[in-house]
Chain A
Amino acid sequence: MTPSQTIAAPPPDKIKVKVDGREVEVPRTVPDPITGKPIPTTMIQACAAANVDVPHYCYHPKLPVAGNCRMCLVEFGTPALGPDRRLVMNPDGTPKMAKSPRPAIACATPISPGMEIYTSTPAVKQMREGVLEFLLINHPLDCPICDEAGECKLQEYSVEYGKAESRFIEPKVHKPKAVDLGPRIVLDDERCILCTRCIRFTRDIAGDDALGIVNRGSYSTLTAYPGRQFDNNYTLNTVDICPVGALTSKDFRFQMRVWFLKETRSICTSCATGCNITVGSREGRIYRYEPRENDAVNACWMCDYGRLNYKWIHREDRLTQVQSPKSRVQGRPATWAGALAEISELLARAPQGSVAIIASARQTNEELYLLKKLADKLGAATDSIPRSGEGDRLLLNADRNPNAQGARLTGICSADMGGRIAEMARAIEKGAVRTLVVFGEDVVKHGLGAGLLGKLETLIVSDILPNETTKLAHYLLPGCAHVEKRGTFTNAKGRVQKFMKAIEPRGDARPEWEFLHELVSRVTGQQGDANLEGLFNRMAKEVPAFNGLAWAGLGNTGVTVSL
């Protein structure tokens, strides 16, 4: 084997490099995070492929490279070439390395075939210590009052590479503190390490060139464009990517220290995009939503609208009691067992076609599947309520139902969601439909007015918050917010994604799929699955669109089904 063959061996689109002595094969190019055009793979990406952590501040895999923080400096070598342009070999037959006299920033240096990257040499350690010392010269060390503490890269790297004492005796430069940058963001300029991640995000991803750095040297100060607010629907992502506590969320400001938060994998329910999120909760209270990386859906981002749409979960007026006609007379809440027994008896006795079901596209696939099963047994018409708003080019979908596709795929509604409501209204008017089952929608507002609902013999409603429809209900079944249960949603593009339970339901409320399972078993007489995994797997077998899926196979980022 000739030396030149050793290098030419891997396929042309792959490059072999060594990171700290471990060989990895990485693609020669990667797509540019903004344009998608192929750009050379960098050392930091090769290190990531080799599972070697390179400390960094300004590099972010989803942003253009800036290379300004210098934290990612590494040493490297390339195969030495002789005067004949051939590889020089060691006596043991391996190519001789020409170690670069200067280090390089791993985030911006392309790799080349045969390159060796050294991330744990004494020199690299010294460079990291040096960079960190500079970053801390004017840093206020506000950790006790800084919301980032606990998830701060400056803290983390200070533990690894910092000094206990500063050699800098001059007074620190003081910059503006608690700057009101926009309606949702507070900026502490003293803490900013000038990595420009926020600037690049808002310019290149959000498309709103609102931030910049003014002044020079130690006076460099991040600011919004003079006279302008930093206000677009994606501002809070800058809080996530800010490696320090310079940008903080007004909503989360001084609410809870991050180390107390329990993290639960979940999905945002505010539109049909279904951004993957992490729910931060402590002792039954939700403190924040943060985006969770999923390249098939939301990359690393989510919109502010969805992120802040969680407060209603803790509203005081949540429905927490089961109600039945009998319990209303007695003036005390009904029991689940009693109410479900009465409802199932009532539905089992109902003549074919005398029941109609309105489900919500905010319910999970499993719940919609169970409702559809119930509807098939009763010969009931079903539909759901569309919910739309303004979409944008990045993430926010005009369809504000998180599971509109799920409602279509399970057969709850047709492609034209809400198209059968008028027909249902006529059927109620005529007396053909005498029992209406409503899940999670205020139908009074959507074409089935209070007068019409008054004509019904039985109105069975399940909801989370009180509304006009729940007031009229004969049977009221308190349900759960999605953070209080498990389930799956199908997003606009057909990605089936699961979410986990973060907090306990309030009062007597129970996850809808749980009591729907009981109800369906009783009415149809078929034994279903009393656990969510089984229920999902059964649904995957019975609903053609979900064929081949399994709960365990969904993973953390979901599976796309064809629509």
Chain B
Amino acid sequence: MIVKRKKLNLWERLYLPAMIGGFKVTLRHFFKKKVTLQYPEEKWVVPEGYRGAPYLVRDQDGNTKCVSCQLCEFVCPPKAIRIMPPGPAGPVADRPNAEKIPLEFEINMLRCIFCGFCQEVCPEEAIFLMSDYSLTGRSRQEMIYDKEKLLALGGEHAGIQKWKKKAEEAGAQESFPVKI
């Protein structure tokens, strides 16, 4: 399609009137109340339910909640999550009964799109999208957060302690009719 260029009239071709018009707008805003944030000195207050960077959390007893089920690794659309399961010889879970804990857990924050699928899929309520939205680093490597870093950033998240409950229930149970 060919767009016909409109011929400018004399007033428009004069240039100055348009300039003055522009300055008027600027001046008007100069004396108005400011609406922009003085970022980065001034930080935005993140609303409730905001989906920022995903971090791992600990329960109220300070134990790692993640059991290395790798569902988040599977569901993550940009494949930002890498988990190394413990294997038979790896670390045992810090909670009784949970049996399993990741040997290593990495999220590549350069890949993460903050979609929240990991939080949604996690059967252990171990990963949450928190309020951090501006992550920086000086190298790509620095932007891959490891387990320690994710746990430190995630902090504590109290909730149902199902593995603890199971262990308690098993302990309270009368012993078996025939011991094996």
Chain A contact residues, CB within 8 Å of chain B = 140, 143-145, 149, 171-178, 214-216, 219, 221, 223, 226, 250-251, 253-257, 259-260
- A257–B67 Cα distance when bound, in Å, is 12
Contacting residue for A214 out of B67, B68, B69, B180, CB 8 A: B180
User: A249 — nearest CB in chain B belongs to which residue?
Assistant: B88
- A550–B119 Cα distance when bound, in Å, is 52
Residues of A near B124 (CB, < 8 A) are: 144
A145-B85 in contact (CB<8A): no
The interface bits of chain B over 30-69 (1 if a CB of A lies within 8 angstroms of the residue's CB, else 0) are 0000000000000000000000000000000000000111
Q: Is B87 an interface residue (CB 8 A)?
A: yes
Contacting residue for B67 out of A144, A216, A226, CB 8 A: A144
User: A257 — nearest CB in chain B belongs to which residue?
Assistant: B70
A226-B88 in contact (CB<8A): no
Residues of B near A143 (CB, < 8 A) are: 69, 123
A174-B169 in contact (CB<8A): yes
A255-B85 in contact (CB<8A): yes
The smallest beta-carbon distance between A255 and chain B, in angstroms, is: 5
Q: A144-B124, A254-B100, A260-B74 are in contact. Are A215 and B173 (CB under 8 A)?
A: no
Dominant SS among interface residues on chain B: loop
Contacts A/B (CB < 8 Å), 14 sampled: A144-B123, A144-B124, A149-B69, A172-B169, A174-B166, A174-B170, A177-B97, A214-B180, A216-B177, A250-B88, A254-B68, A254-B86, A254-B87, A254-B90
- A260–B177 Cα distance when bound, in Å, is 41
Q: Is B98 an interface residue (CB 8 A)?
A: yes
- A174–B99 Cα distance when bound, in Å, is 15
User: B100 — nearest CB in chain A belongs to which residue?
Assistant: A145
User: A224 — nearest CB in chain B belongs to which residue?
Assistant: B180
Residues of A near B123 (CB, < 8 A) are: 143-144
- A461–B126 Cα distance when bound, in Å, is 53
The smallest beta-carbon distance between A36 and chain B, in angstroms, is: 36
- A178–B170 Cα distance when bound, in Å, is 14
Chain B contact residues, CB within 8 Å of chain A = 67-71, 73-74, 85-88, 90, 97-100, 123-124, 166, 169-170, 172-173, 176-178, 180
- A143–B172 Cα distance when bound, in Å, is 23
- A145–B170 Cα distance when bound, in Å, is 18
Ranked 3 nearest A-B pairs via Cβ? A174-B170, A144-B69, A253-B88
- A462–B169 Cα distance when bound, in Å, is 60
- 13 further A-B contacts with Cβ under 8 Å, apart from A175-B176, A257-B69, are A144-B100, A145-B98, A171-B173, A177-B99, A214-B180, A215-B176, A215-B178, A254-B86, A254-B90, A255-B87, A256-B85, A257-B74, A260-B73
User: B93 — nearest CB in chain A belongs to which residue?
Assistant: A145
- A175–B176 Cα distance when bound, in Å, is 8
- A149–B74 Cα distance when bound, in Å, is 13
B166-A214 in contact (CB<8A): no
Residues of B near A145 (CB, < 8 A) are: 67, 69, 98-100
Residues of A near B169 (CB, < 8 A) are: 171-172, 174
- A149–B173 Cα distance when bound, in Å, is 27
B88-A214 in contact (CB<8A): no
Residues of A near B178 (CB, < 8 A) are: 214-215
User: B122 — nearest CB in chain A belongs to which residue?
Assistant: A144
- A210–B131 Cα distance when bound, in Å, is 56
A219-B87 in contact (CB<8A): no
The smallest beta-carbon distance between B118 and chain A, in angstroms, is: 14
Residues of A near B73 (CB, < 8 A) are: 260
Residues of A near B97 (CB, < 8 A) are: 177
